[in-house]
Amino acid sequence: MKQFIASVFLFFTVISTAMSHPADGIAVSSLKVEMLTNPEGIDVVNPKLSWKILAGPKETYQEAYQVLVATSPSLLSPDKADVWNSGKVSSEESINVSFDGEALEKDTKVYWKVKVWTNHGESDWSETAHWSFGLRYYKDWKGRWIGFDRAFPWEDISTFPTLGARYFRNEFDVNKEVKRATIYIMGLGLYELSLNGQKVGDAVLAPTPTDYTQNVKYNTYDVTAMLQGKAENAVGVMLGNGRYFTMRQNYKPYKIKNFGFPKLLVNLVIHYADGSKEVISTSDQWKGTADGPIRNNNEYDGEYYDANKEFPGWDSVGFDDSSWLQAEYVQEPRGNFEAQMNENMKVMREVAPISLEAIGGDRYILDMGQNMVGWLQMTVQGEKGDTVKLKFAESLQEDGELFMTNLRDAKVTDTYILKDDQQVSWEPRFTYHGFRFVEISGYPGTPKMEDFVGKMVYDDIKTVGQFDTSDPVLNQIYQNAWWGIAGNYKGMPVDCPQRNERQPWLGDRAVGAHGEFYMFDNARLYKKWLEDIRLAQKADGALPDVAPAYWRYYSDNMTWPGTYLMIAEMLYQQTGDISVIRENYPAMKRWLTYMADRYMNEDYIVTKDSYGDWVVPPPSIEAGTGQNADVKRPSALISTAYYYHFMEMMSEFATILDQQEDIPAYQHLKEKVHGGFKREFYQDGFYGDNKMTDNLLPLAFGMVPEGDRERVFDQVVETIEVKNRGHLSTGLIGTQWLMRTLSDFGRADLALKLATNTTFPSWGYMIENGATTIWELWHGNVAKPTMNSQNHTMLLGDLTVWFYEYLAGIKAGKDSPGFKTFELDPVFVEGLDRVKASFDSPYGTIGSHWERKGDQVIWKVQVPVNTTARVMLPPTATKEFTLNGETLPKGEVSITLGSGEYEFGF
Ligand code: RAM
């Protein structure tokens, strides 16, 4: 009897857990929570539905499906489904199937389930999932924006302002039986929402940051269970500054965008059992105050909390708010109101400290054992007025004090003032820090390690990849990368989490995002980032280096803004979601025209670049000691090579979108740029100044005429082997093409050498020097501290892509985006004895695990249900291949496999 386990998930959406119930013959499992955290309040009319067939016999393919959607779970049967019954549809598609029912009414919750037919029989109906459709149109929103558009006398809004949290509350009567209640909230910059004294949801630092003059994201919560029927209820909202009130950075040379004082719009929509409906919304009948315990809060300086200012019960019924002010009407933010489709941040992990040492006076140093992003929760007991300060840093100085200079002017300090002698447990709300060490001062009594818990905070997305090898250096690099990438997910990928910067710099992720995709379920985050970039485009076509463009850098170059194209390509390749190309193509086209118009000379050289191969390693550690790494070396070679590459990508995009008419112009320009590039930069067997990056880019982009390829590649090899004595000499740009190009030209062994080096410059060198994340600089241990973060992901380049796509060999097929058909094609590189990787694709887990046993290689692979793997067998002249113990015919180079687990030997 066949066993099936199917689970359904909704694109942009989650499903809650339920029980499984074996059915006759074929068992169907329960719903498992898949994909996004928040299925509520989406504003896409035709959401994409996806499901996963969790198990089945070998080579199982879906042949048909049927989806039911109804307004109540009890109506989920083929004859009753009142929203949509797809009927039995012959199709292998199980991912991104469009809901084709009628557009839902605003504020509607629907339930759905699916059944599949396969070549091995049919499943039972899956368990029930749901989504809800939110407030899509402006007219759907009731009430008005409230806030206080000013600072209060105890606040200071000069250069380093101290602006406290704003608190708002309202009580309302629910006099009938409640059927369903949903809260829609836009709370800027950050909010924490509570109902009847209880926090709603588990998000922190919500909503996701945007350029609020472009778009504002609303969050939706089903609060049916939290509302008191036939009783008085209370709603409370705290507002933090986040990226909205940003005067703290006013002194920046490129003035940072400040959006104003925090503000709020809430709609609580209550459906009563009798069919009537009521909306509780923000108005000047709400009460508010800025005179609460959070006296100051911002990302860079920390949170200042005075417990003496607490007002117990403020968010519950019956609180005396007579001393509070009436909420004031304020201007609404300019941006569009949109449902948030990417995940909010959450406390994702707890970290226990590894040591606590007294360093004199009342000061202690706590070591978390890991450079992490988030905050510290503290348990404390003392006297009224005792003031505990927690100050955060990534490393210590030789004298045991915190090393603060690389944080520049970020004050990174959380302050807590006790109100009485009761034991309390406290953590901040509207800040986060990048740290391994914490200086604790003013702690009453003697602190113990157990009094502190590290809270690691990042976007609520699953880790989907596992990677492990026989080499401990590679494994540690992978761990460091995981911590750095996760910690820097802040509703946008930021460059670093600790100093006074924390900006979503585009260039840092151009290629890294692709490797990250195998590690984290980050599709919605990067889709949101594409939107941030698109909305940051100027009317003339310019794209910024940072998006959302909080820092106003529109410096015009190919590499940073060009990340826009690379992220779109990556998402399309990895997910098959064509909308990422469709939605962004016109903006890309405008930008490329803008750049050509302004910066392309008559010989087709793009003359303008900004950063060059940013942060190349100095020639030696000695030469880099004390040196400023903030040196721009603009390179027309780089900008021109990228223009060429982007013309190629635009042709591909045009093909995907079936806009053939655009292609001739791209091809024409590509040819011209190719000619100009050769005339300008090609010497005899090398490009430009013969630096690694100068040669890597034309090789990687296919710009080197076939007859010259080996010669040019030999230059790269010689630079590494001879000049650099086995090391790389690439910065942010070159490293993005390094590992793959070396491997593509047959020198995976050299790539492995670079990846496992522990001498300068290398990732292993960072580890040798105590790194638990990836540094901003190859010489981060000795460089001048002004630009020297210890938790940047940009120098990973294409390393994580190489881990998954080359060492493990898992990759989406070039012509079949999205893993329905994928490739398994590892490089069984000499020098490694084992690589074990898996990637939880939307169809299920893809696994690749190879190991040397004597001179034999055993390679185990796992192919999910409803997918096909094209397995490439490594070229070997002498050996024969076996598959599950059976010898394969001679000369076999590739083999196609359906779902199941297989073992190759050779
Ligand atoms: C610095 C950061 C960032 C980088 C820019 C060019 O501010 O290191 O990561 O992209 O410079």
pLDDT tens digit sequence for 281-313: 999 999 999 999 999 999 999 999 999 999 999
Write down the mean pLDDT value for the chain.
Answer: 94
Task: Provide the token pair at 671.
Answer: 């040819």
Cα 588 to ligand 1 centroid, rounded to whole Å: 22
pLDDT band at 25 (very low <50, low <70, confident <90, very high): very low
Three-state SS sequence of 807-836 = HCCEEEECCECCCCEEEECCCCCCCCCEEE
**Could you tell me which residues come within 8 angstroms of residue 596 by beta carbon, excluding any fewer than 6 positions away?**
606, 643, 669
Q: Which of 254, 495, 550, 778, when mutated, tests ligand 1's pocket best, judged by the most ligand atoms within 8 Å of its CB?
A: 495
Strands 345-351 vs 452-459: parallel, antiparallel or unpaired:
antiparallel
Q: What is the CATH number of the domain that holds 31?
A: 2.60.40.10
| Other beta carbons within 10 Å of 667 | 14
Residue 13 scores a pLDDT above 80: no
Amino acid identity at 38: N
> Which atom of ligand 1 lies closest to the CA of 615?
8
Q: Which of 697, 700, 557, 674 is nearest to 605 (CA)?
A: 674
Cα 404 to ligand 1 centroid, rounded to whole Å: 19
With residues binned 3-state (H G I as helix, E B as strand, rest as coil), the percentages for the chain, rounded to 5, are 25, 30, 45
> Which atom of ligand 1 lies closest to the CA of 614?
6
> Which atom of ligand 1 lies closest to the CA of 560?
10
User: Which residues partner with 821 through β-bridges?
Assistant: 868
Task: Provide the token pair at 534.
Answer: 């698109």
> Which atom of ligand 1 lies closest to the CA of 495?
9
Shortest-distance Cα residue to atom 2 of ligand 1? 495
Helix (H, G, I), strand (E, B) or coil at 878: coil
Ranges of H-type helices in 419-522: 472-487, 512-517
* pLDDT value at residue 751: 98
Cα 548 to ligand 1 centroid, rounded to whole Å: 15
Domain count along the chain = 5
Three-state SS sequence of 325-390 = EECEECCCCCCEEEECCCCCEEEEEEECCCEEEEEECCEEEEEEEEEEEEEEEEEECCCCCCEEEE
Cα 251 to ligand 1 centroid, rounded to whole Å: 18
Q: Which of 357, 90, 38 is nearest to 220 (CA)?
A: 38
Q: What is the CATH number of the domain that holds 830?
A: 2.60.420.10
pLDDT tens, residue by residue, 42-86: 888 888 888 988 888 899 999 999 999 999 999 999 999 999 999
Crossing angle of helices 706-718 and 692-700, in 10° steps, is 150
Give the C-alpha separation, 124 to 136, whole Å.
35
Cα 463 to ligand 1 centroid, rounded to whole Å: 26
Cα 495 to ligand 1 centroid, rounded to whole Å: 7
Residue 648 shares a structural domain with residue 790: yes
pLDDT tens, residue by residue, 414-463: 999 999 999 999 999 999 999 999 999 999 999 999 999 999 999 999 99
Cα 336 to ligand 1 centroid, rounded to whole Å: 29
Q: What is the CATH number of the domain that holds 176?
A: 2.60.120.260
Residue 322 scores a pLDDT above 90: yes
Shortest-distance Cα residue to atom 9 of ligand 1? 495
Cα 766 to ligand 1 centroid, rounded to whole Å: 19
Task: Provide the token pair at 164.
Answer: 């406290």
φ/ψ of residue 686, rounded to 5: -155, 170
Residues 321-330: b if buried by 16+ CB within 10 A, e if exposed: beebbebeeb
Shortest-distance Cα residue to atom 5 of ligand 1? 505
Cα 735 to ligand 1 centroid, rounded to whole Å: 15
Residue 702 scores a pLDDT above 70: yes
pLDDT tens, residue by residue, 664-696: 999 999 999 999 999 999 999 999 999 999 999
pLDDT tens, residue by residue, 530-546: 999 999 999 999 999 99
> Which atom of ligand 1 lies closest to the CA of 610?
6
Q: Please identify, among 326, 342, 358, the residue that sits at the C-terminal boundary of a domain.
A: 342
Residue 119 shares a structural domain with residue 183: no
Least confident of 45-59, 389-403, 856-870: 45-59
Q: Which of 609, 614, 736, 791, when mutated, tests ligand 1's pocket best, judged by the most ligand atoms within 8 Å of its CB?
A: 614
Cα 785 to ligand 1 centroid, rounded to whole Å: 14
Cα 559 to ligand 1 centroid, rounded to whole Å: 12
Residue 182 shares a structural domain with residue 328: yes
* pLDDT value at residue 828: 97
> Which atom of ligand 1 lies closest to the CA of 505?
10
Task: Indicate if the alpha-carbon torsion angle 675, 681, 686, 690 is positive or negative.
Answer: negative
Cα 502 to ligand 1 centroid, rounded to whole Å: 10
Cα 611 to ligand 1 centroid, rounded to whole Å: 9
Cα 40 to ligand 1 centroid, rounded to whole Å: 36
How far, CA to CA in Å, does 295 sit from each of 291, 469, 491? 7, 49, 25
Q: Which of 490, 508, 551, 775, when mutated, tests ligand 1's pocket best, judged by the most ligand atoms within 8 Å of its CB?
A: 508
pLDDT tens, residue by residue, 95-139: 888 899 999 999 999 999 999 999 999 898 988 999 999 999 999
Amino acid identity at 580: V
Q: What angle (nearest 5°) sits at the alpha carbon of residue 11, between those of residues 536 and 900?
A: 125
Task: Provide the token pair at 628.
Answer: 């400023």
Residue 36 scores a pLDDT above 60: no
What's the predicted TM-score (pTM) here?
0.96
Shortest-distance Cα residue to atom 4 of ligand 1? 505
Residue 18 scores a pLDDT above 60: no
**Structural contact between residues 83 and 110, judged by C-beta atoms closer than 8 angstroms:** yes
345 burial level (CB within 10 Å; 0-12, 13-18, 19+)? buried
pLDDT tens, residue by residue, 202-228: 999 999 999 999 999 999 999 999 999
Q: Please identify, among 432, 459, 486, the residue that sits at the C-terminal boundary of a domain.
A: 459
pLDDT band at 890 (very low <50, low <70, confident <90, very high): confident
Amino acid identity at 865: V
Q: Which of 505, 509, 546, 638, when mutated, tests ligand 1's pocket best, judged by the most ligand atoms within 8 Å of its CB?
A: 505
pLDDT tens, residue by residue, 497-515: 999 999 999 999 999 999 9
pLDDT band at 379 (very low <50, low <70, confident <90, very high): very high
Residue 450 shares a structural domain with residue 473: no
102 burial level (CB within 10 Å; 0-12, 13-18, 19+)? exposed
Spell out which residues line ligand 1, taking CB within 6 angstroms: 495, 501, 505, 507-508, 611, 614, 776, 792, 794
pLDDT band at 253 (very low <50, low <70, confident <90, very high): low
Looking at residue 247, what DSSP letter applies? G
Least confident of 92-101, 767-776, 797-806: 92-101
Cα 505 to ligand 1 centroid, rounded to whole Å: 6
Q: Which of 429, 35, 376, 458 is nearest to 194 (CA)?
A: 429
Residue 5 scores a pLDDT above 60: no
Crossing angle of helices 748-756 and 472-487, in 10° steps, is 70
Give the C-alpha separation, 578 to 657, whole Å.
8
- Percent of the chain topping pLDDT 70: 95
> Which atom of ligand 1 lies closest to the CA of 501?
7
Residue 76 belongs to what domain range? 4-133
Residue 110 shares a structural domain with residue 144: no
Shortest-distance Cα residue to atom 10 of ligand 1? 505
Residue 154 shares a structural domain with residue 192: yes
Kindly state the helix (H) or strand (E) to which residue 752 belongs, with its residue range. helix 748-756
**Could you tell me which residues come within 8 angstroms of residue 755 by beta carbon, excluding any fewer than 6 positions away?**
473, 474, 477, 739, 762, 763, 764, 799, 802
Residue 817 shares a structural domain with residue 800: no
Task: Provide the token pair at 53.
Answer: 């067939």
Three-state SS sequence of 259-276 = CCCCEEEEEEEEEECCCC
Q: Which of 205, 199, 183 is nearest to 297 (CA)?
A: 205
> Which atom of ligand 1 lies closest to the CA of 789?
8
Residues 845-857: b if buried by 16+ CB within 10 A, e if exposed: ebbbbbeeeeeeb
Residue 697 shares a structural domain with residue 653: yes
Q: Please identify, among 807, 841, 876, the residue that sits at the C-terminal boundary of a domain.
A: 807
Cα 402 to ligand 1 centroid, rounded to whole Å: 24
Helix (H, G, I), strand (E, B) or coil at 796: helix
* pLDDT value at residue 877: 64
pLDDT tens, residue by residue, 164-190: 999 999 999 999 999 999 999 999 999
Residue 696 shares a structural domain with residue 605: yes
Cα 786 to ligand 1 centroid, rounded to whole Å: 12
Residue 655 shares a structural domain with residue 763: yes
Least confident of 80-94, 247-261, 847-861: 247-261
Residue 329 shares a structural domain with residue 400: no
Work out the widest C-alpha separation in the chain, in whole angstroms.
Answer: 88
* pLDDT value at residue 255: 73
Q: Which of 391, 380, 372 is nearest to 420 (CA)?
A: 380
Residue 96 shares a structural domain with residue 158: no
Give the C-alpha separation, 590 to 537, whole Å.
9
Cα 488 to ligand 1 centroid, rounded to whole Å: 14
Cα 246 to ligand 1 centroid, rounded to whole Å: 20
